[in-house]
Structure 1
Amino acid sequence: MAKSKDKTLKIDIGIGKDERKAIAEGLSRLLADEYTLYLKTHNFHWNVTGPMFNTLHLMFETHYTEAALAVDLVAERIRALGFPAPGTYQQYAALSSIEETEGVPEAMAMVRLLVKGHEACARTARSVFPVAEAAHDEPSCDLLTQRLQLHEKTAWMLRSLLE
């Protein structure tokens, strides 16, 4: 009797399954934070008002456009590690460290909330880095470094608006 052929090919990239799983779980938390921040930024783009309307409206658009590309990169890295990427609001709500914002805050409150969101993403990325580094997962380390640089710079720039 012929054996049925397994149509899946085992992942053999030099990182064990347990390490890949731990990295993917961390990246899933980052994906949830990134997506939650994307949604918050897009919401603020639509709803900002006041004397800085044009500046903030355009800045928020730049931020959410970058975030839309970032969520794809994070999700694709999770998939490359061999695990499903979370993709529902329910999953993101359970995994994200960023709280939703009720109502429509005033413009400078939006800026403060976005500073906190970018700092939360930085903390999450930083928490995953040692796991990826220990597994010699350079692509994930590179992705995390890029996300850290972006979130720390954006938090600084937004914080500068509050001074």
Structure 2
Amino acid sequence: MSKKDRPASKAPKVDIGIPKDNRQAIADGLSRLLADEYTLYLKTHNYHWNVTGPMFNTLHLMFETQYTEAALAVDLVAERIRALGFPAPGSYSQYAELAAVKEDRSVPDAMSMVRNLVADHETVTRTARSLFPLADEVSDEPTADLLTQRMQLHEKTAWMLRSLLE
């Protein structure tokens, strides 16, 4: 059958050396990571808009750097889910169900924002770390590399934010 005669909805089978059940489990974990990353992005952007006080300029710029990085990260995580052969979640309701990071509907004071973000970066780190053993078990190096990069960034960001609280 030629390519043009093949039904448009019939995608080729994903055959990357990882069984489908394992790919599904990894994609499910990455979906939780994506939800955490996106929720953290939204919260950080909200704090960027609404921070006030003596540290306004410092925090406003710091939060901008952080949400800009997060915007790039969500794309990397979603694309890894797609490479594993599964759809990436993309709605607020899905993120609300999947995320361990919770949105903030309030406008806390500046240092409470910092404290909240420390906790959230640590939460995202734990979400990524929880998936690492499965990725390692099935030799999914691309996912393991992505998780390592995400953990490194979130641990460093939590440390930097914590330093503001001392």
TM-score interval for Structure 1 and Structure 2 normalised by the shorter chain: over 0.9
Paired with 2:60 and 2:127, the residues of 1 have a C-alpha distance of 27
- When the two structures are superposed, what TM-score results if normalisation uses the length of structure 2? 0.94
Using the TM superposition, give the Cα deviation of residue 27 of structure 1 relative to its aligned residue in structure 2, in angstroms.
Answer: 0.2
Q: Which residue of 1 is the match for residue 70 of structure 2?
A: 67
Equivalence for 2:59: 56
User: Aligned equivalents of 1:138 and 1:103: distance in 2?
Assistant: 40
Determine whether 1:79 maps to 2:82.
yes
Q: Distance in 2 between matches of 1:10 and 1:100?
A: 37
Partner of 2:100: 97
**Cα distance, 1:53 vs. partner?**
0.2
TM-score between both structures, scaled by the size of structure 1 = 0.96
Quick one: which of 10, 14, 18 aligns to 2:13?
A: 10
Identity of aligned residues (%): 76
Amino acid at match of 2:29: G
Which runs of structure 2 are paired with 1:1-163 in the superposition (5 Å)? 5=6, 7-163=10-166
SS of residue in 1 equivalent to 2:16 = coil
Q: Which letter maps to 1:101?
A: D
Moved more, 96-105 or 47-56: 96-105
> 1:99, CA displacement in angstroms?
1.5
CA RMSD after TM alignment: 0.9
1:35-63 deviation per Cα after TM superposition (whole angstroms, max 9, x unaligned): 00000000000000000000000000000
Structure 2 gap segments, 5+ residues each: none
Return 5+ residue gaps in structure 1 as ranges.
none
Cα distance in 1 between the residues matched to 2:69 and 2:102: 20
